[in-house]
Structure 1
Amino acid sequence: MKYERVRNFVNGSFKEVSSQRTLPVISPTDGSLLAEMPCSTAADLEEAVQAAKAAFPGWSKTPIKERVQVFFRYKYLLEQHLQGLAALVSEENGKTMSEAVAEVEKCIELTEFATSLPQLIAGEVLEVSAGVECRTSHVPLGIVASIVPFNFPAMVPNWTIPNAIALGNCLIMKPSEKVPLSLGIIARLLKEAGLPNGVLNIVNGDSEIVNAICDHPDIAAVSFVGSTKIARIVYQRATQHLKRCLALGGAKNHLLVLPDAKPGMTAQNVAASMSGCAGQRCMAASAMIGVGAVDHIVDLVCEEARKIVPGQNLGAVISKESKERIEKYITEAEAQGARILVDGRGVQVAGKENGTYVGPTVIDYVTADMAVAQEEIFGPVISIMRTETVDEALRIENANPYGNAASVFTQNGGMARYIAERASAGMIGVNVGVPVPREPFSFGGWNESKFGVGDITGKSSIEFWTRLKKSTTKWNPEEGVNWMS
């Protein structure tokens, strides 16, 4: 075992949990045992909640201009520790080092946005009548919780940590049991940056802790990122207990490729979108719809896919079970009549035979009723469907229950606008394979890719992590009373 046993982070220090039940933390790159993670109990969560309750009065009353000073220092520390944190992300998640570096760089950008929050939440004041003022202010919710997935061990926690905490809340974070190590480094950096004890607490565990978070009466809000199946359950359970909840689920992102698209650029974008982070991201291209004569572009997509080599510029998928599930989708599509143009099944990397790798896979002549066309595969697989018209392509895209992202590749501005306006997705790309908005624009999908109101990052997150207080003040009784006062 390479690392010491994982511990919770409560009230500013790392602590053992009360349970002896553990789960192994396995590196997907070579199958080695990295650590053991104990499964916390409701009693461990209660300890974290009490630490957060004790910290909240002082932290919430600290002016936001002072609170964000922690995040100026945290941003500097992320920059100083970028390579070390990225190496750990790569080791426990399986993504390539360059992808892990990009992940930490995104953490830095998210933190930079949080330092601007004092300018963004300045309250409004208006004299609505003679001597009568109305004022608004953003008030923190209290104790909040965030449940995060395995595919971005550092970035997704930083979707919530800087904003939720800078806005005055105390946060309980539950990492994925598959990748709990990176968040421990983040906790250390925040403590070094001056974050007071109890403002951030980390509780490790599995579904038992997820349920306990949703049920706990002192937790005011829950954010979740994961599969649609679990996002729906978390949303229903949390809101049943009258909590505010924003639960982000899975995706089936469609790329509409028109015959006039720039062939080389399009092929590079499609291949990179479907294989980046081994396809384990909710913004990955999973389905390409070729409209009309696009064989020349499909050929180039295959050429680009063959340049992507597992263990070199393609990372591992998270587990043996994921590898088996992804390969099952490919085999099933082939049995149903689809053509496997590039086959990533059965891959082994020399020297890392116990790693869980799936090679880039291009499947052509997929029909809309196949599982590979409908379900989230979460691997480096692109399913190609064919249509004669844009409207037919849009019908396929619109019919899918998810709604994270959709992109169009064309040189026709009018057609790009036509598709962008009609695609049923929260994030749209034009000649962009992964249309993730950059700060201050917010991340969030539609339909069954998101349950709840608002987005998890950017300006939209302010509304989720705060309540709006409205105050009306009058100090001149001599003015009398009218309908506005």
Structure 2
Amino acid sequence: MKYNPVQNYINGKFVDATTDKTLDVISPLDGTRLSTVPLSSSDDLNKAVKAAKEAFPKWSKTPIKERVQVFFRYKYLLEKNLDELAALISEENGKTIGESVAEIEKCIELTEFACSLPQLVTGELLEVSKGIECRTERIPLGVVASIVPFNFPAMVPNWTIPNAIALGNCMIIKPSEKVPLTLTRIATLLKEAGLPDGVFNIVNGNSEIATAICAHPDIEAVTFVGSTKVAKIVYQTATYNFKQCLALGGAKNHLIVLPDAKPEMTAQNITASMSGCAGQRCMAASAMVAVGDVDHIINKICEEAKKVVPGKNLGAVISKQSKERIEQYITEAEQQGAKILVDGRGATVEGKENGTYVGPTVIDFVKPEMSVAKEEIFGPVISIMRTNSLEEAVAIENNNPYGNAASVFTQNGSYARFVIDKASAGMIGVNVGVPVPREPFSFGGWNESKFGSGDITGKSSIEFFTRLKKSTIKWNPEAGTNWMS
């Protein structure tokens, strides 16, 4: 075992869980046992919440311009330790080093936004009548929690950590039991940056802890990122217990390709979108809708896909179970009449035979009713459906239950505008394979890709992590009395 057993992080200290139940942490790269992670109990959660609740009064009363100084230092520490963090992400998640570096670079951008919050939460003041002022200010909620997935061990936690804490909240976070090591290191960086004890806490575990978080009476708000099936459960449980909740679910992102699209650019974008992070991201290209004769572009996509090699510029999928599930989707599509243009089944990497790799896979002549066209595969697989019109292509996109992202590849502005207007998704791309908004624009989908109001990052997160307080003030009695006073 390469690393020490993972511990919880409570009140500024790493502590053992109260249970002896553990799971192994396995590297998808080569099957190496990296560590063990505890399956914490509700007693462990109670300790973390108690620490956060006790830290909240002092932290919330600290002026926001002082709170964000922690994140100026944290940003510097992310930059200083970038290579170490990237290596750790690659080891426990299976990403390539380049993808892991990009993940930390996104964390740095998210932290930069948090440092700007003092300029965004200044409130408003207006004399609404003679001698009477109305004022608004943003007040932190208290103890908040985030339940985060395996696919981005650093970035998704940093969707919420900097903003929630800079806005004055104290936090509990539950990492995926598959990738707990990166968040453990992030805890040490936050402490080194000067974050007071108790403001940030980690409780490791499985679904038992997630359920306990959603039911805990002293947790005011919960964010979740994961599958739609679990997102619905988290949202229902948290809101049933009168908590604010934002739960992000799965996706089936459609890329509409028109005959006038630039072949090289389109092929490179689509291939990178479907194979980046081994397809294990909710913004991955999963379904392509080919409008008319675009065979020349499909051929280019196949050429580009063959340049993506497991173990070189393609990482591993998270587990053996994931590999088997992804390959089963490909086999089922083939049995149903689809044509496999590039086949990633059975991929192995020399010297890493115990790694869990799936090669890039391009499937043509897919019908909308096939599972591979409807369900989230979460692997480096793209399914191509063919249509004769843009209207039919948009109808296919609209009929899918998800709504994270959609993109169109064209050089025609009116076609692009049609897709922007008609696609049923929260994030739209034009000649962009992964249309993730950059800060300060917020991340969030529609339909069954998101449950709750607002978005998880950017300016929209301010409303989620604070309450709006309104004050009406009158000092001068000589102003008289009117209907307002």
TM-score higher than 0.5: yes
Segments of structure 1 that go 5 or more residues without pairing to the other structure are none
The structural deviation recorded for 1:319 is 0.1
Distance in 1 (CA, whole Å) between partners of 2:409 and 2:420 is 11
1:402 is matched with which residue? Answer: 402
Query: Shift of the alpha carbon at 1:134?
Result: 0.3
Q: Secondary structure at the match of 2:173?
A: strand
Deviations 1:373-397 (A, max 9, x none): 0000000000000000001001100
**Alignment partners' CA distance in 2, 1:119 and 1:479:** 33
Q: Deviations over 1:393-428 (max 9, x none)?
A: 011000000000000000001110011110000000
Please report the TM-score for the alignment, with normalisation by the length of structure 2: 1.00
CA distance in 1, matches of 2:171, 2:273: 33
Q: TM-score, normalised by structure 1?
A: 1.00
Partners of 1:92 and 1:327 in 2: CA distance: 22
Q: Give the Cα separation in 1 of the matches to 2:18 and 2:129.
A: 60
Equivalent residue letter for 2:11 = N
Question: How is 1:101-112 mapped onto 2 (pairs within 5 angstroms)?
Answer: 101-112=101-112
Equivalent position of 2:138 in the other structure: 138
- Aligned partners of 2:204, 2:441: CA distance in 1, in Å? 31
Residue 211 of structure 1 corresponds to which residue in structure 2? 211
Aligned partner of 1:261 in structure 2 is 261
The aligned counterpart of 2:231 is 231
Residue in 2 that maps onto 1:479: 479
Equivalenced residue count is: 485
Equivalent AA in structure 1 for residue 34 of structure 2: L
- For residues 406 and 338 of structure 2, the distance between their equivalents in structure 1, rounded to whole angstroms, comes to 23
Assess if the C-alpha contact under 8 Å between 1:426 and 1:445 holds in 2.
yes
Identity %: 76
The yes-or-no answer on 1:80 pairing with 2:111 is: no
What's the secondary structure of 2:341's corresponding residue? Answer: strand
Q: Does the residue aligned with 1:317 lie in a helix, a strand or coil?
A: coil
Q: CA deviation at 1:481?
A: 1.4
Amino acid at match of 2:385: M
> Does the aligned pair in 2 maintain the 1:128–1:484 contact within 8 Å?
no
Residue 483 of structure 1 and its aligned partner are, at CA, apart by 2.0
Map of 1:417-436 to 2, 5 A cutoff?
A: 417-436=417-436
1:205 alignment partner AA: G
For residues 122-137 of structure 1, what are the structure 2 equivalents within 5 Å? 122-137=122-137
Deviation at 1:479, TM superposition (A): 1.6
1:81-230 equivalent positions in 2, closer than 5 A: 81-230=81-230
Deviations 1:24-53, CA, capped at 9 Å, x for gaps: 100000001000001100000000000001
Distance 1:74 1:347 in 2: 39
- For 1:126, what is the secondary structure of its paired residue? strand
Task: Tell me the distance in 1 between the aligned counterparts of 2:459 and 2:478.
Answer: 41
Give yes or no for contact 1:348–1:357 (8 Å, CA) kept in 2: yes
Q: CA deviation at 1:478?
A: 1.8
- Distance in structure 2 (CA, Å) of the matches to 1:481 and 1:369: 68
Secondary structure in 2 matching 1:372: helix
- Give every structure 1 segment of 4 or more consecutive aligned residues whose post-TM-superposition deviation is greater than 4 Å: none
CA deviation string 1:261-280 (max 9, x = no partner): 00000000010000000000
Q: Distance in 2 between matches of 1:8 and 1:477?
A: 57
In 2: Cα distance, 1:348 partner to 1:92 partner: 18
Listed as ranges, the matches of 1:51-90 within 5 Å are 51-90=51-90
Contact 1:436 1:443 in 2 (8 A): yes
Aligned counterparts of 2:390 and 2:415: Cα–Cα separation in 1 = 9
Match of 2:332 in 1: 332
Letter in 1 for 2:239: T
Structure 2 CA distance for aligned equivalents of residues 482 and 310 of structure 1 = 75
Q: How far does the alpha carbon of each residue in 1:441-484 deviate from its partner, in whole angstroms, 9 at most, with x for none?
A: 00000000000000000000000000000000000112211123
- Once residues 437 and 188 of structure 2 are traced to their aligned partners in structure 1, the CA distance between those partners, rounded to angstroms, is 29
- 1:60 positional shift: 0.2
Secondary structure at 1:25 match in 2:
strand
1:309-342 alpha-carbon deviations (Å, 9 max, x no partner): 0000000000000000000000000000000000
TM alignment of 1:308-319, pairs within 5 A: 308-319=308-319
How big is the shift at 1:200? 0.1
Residue by residue over 1:287-317, the C-alpha shift from the partner in whole angstroms, topping out at 9 and shown as x without a partner, is: 0000001000000000000000000000000
Write the distance in 2 (CA, Å) between the matches of 1:350 and 1:482. 83
Matched residue SS, 2:393: helix
**Equivalent position of 2:387 in the other structure:** 387
